[in-house]
Structure 1
Amino acid sequence: MSIAKKGLRKIIVTDEVFYWKIRKKISHIERHNVEYDIPVQHESEGQILLINIGFCRSEYYGRKPMQVTPSDIESSITEAIELGWEYRKPGKAIKLMDGELFYW
């Protein structure tokens, strides 16, 4: 399984190439106050990491618009690797949420 190629963003963490993706448009789910997960995958197309960013981007619920930056993604990738994410191996997606990894 791999992330759809259209709209991927490249990031290098500890000399490894990863790709991540964030929707330009706010999704239907986000409009209804559901927290957003950002998919990340190593260039070898191993296990997908879903980074829970802890907020949705909806302004409908009185929230201020928040941005996700490459440094946010980099720190989450580093954290997931330290927690044991085996990014080169294929397998079920894994989710990083509140400092823990969960199989998805």
Structure 2
Amino acid sequence: MALAKKGLRRMVVGDQIFYWKIRKIVSHNEKHNEEYGIPVQHESEGQLLLIYTGFCRSIDYGREPMNISPQFIKSKIIEAIDLGWKFDQPGTAVKLVNGVLMSQ
């Protein structure tokens, strides 16, 4: 499954190119206090990574705003690779949650 190209942000980690995205529109689930998995994918459109960090834009539930920086995303990509993410191979999406890589 490939990420939609519109709104992608480019990230170089080592000599590899990745793309990531945060939706501009807040989803229904986010409005109801569900955290958002930030999608990341290698340029070869291999296995999709969803980074869960507690990021949610629900102000109605008393959450503090969280800024997601490119440096933060880069550190999570490196963490996922160290944990065994096969970014350049096809496969089902994986989640990175609290330092653990899980199947979708």
TM (norm. structure 1) is 0.95
Counterpart of 1:10, as a letter, is R
Please give the per-residue CA displacement for 1:50-90, whole angstroms capped at 9, x wherever unaligned.
00022311111122221111111000000000000010000
**How far is the alpha carbon of 1:28 from its aligned partner?**
1.0
The equivalent of 2:98 in structure 1 is 98
Aligned residue in 2 for 1:36? 36
CA distance in 2 between partners of 1:101 and 1:66 (Å): 22
Corresponding residue of 1:4:
4
Aligned alpha-carbon RMSD (Å): 0.9
User: 2:60 matched to which residue of 1?
Assistant: 60
Q: Any unmatched runs of 5+ in structure 1?
A: none
Q: Determine what percentage of the aligned residue pairs are the same residue.
A: 61
In structure 2, what is the Cα distance between the partners aligned to 1:94 and 1:63?
26
The Cα of 1:27 is off from its aligned counterpart by: 1.2
Stretches of 4+ aligned residues off by more than 3 angstroms: none
- The alpha carbon displacement at 1:20 in A equals 0.4
Aligned to 2:84: 84
| In structure 2, C-alpha distance between the alignment counterparts of 1:18 and 1:70, rounded to whole Å | 11
Partner in structure 2 of residue 26 of structure 1: 26
Native 8 Å contact 2:53 2:98 kept in 1: no
- Which amino acid is the alignment partner of residue 95 of structure 1? K
How far the C-alpha of 1:25 sits from its partner, in A, is 2.1
Aligned length: 104
Query: Which runs of 5 or more residues in structure 2 are unaligned?
Result: none
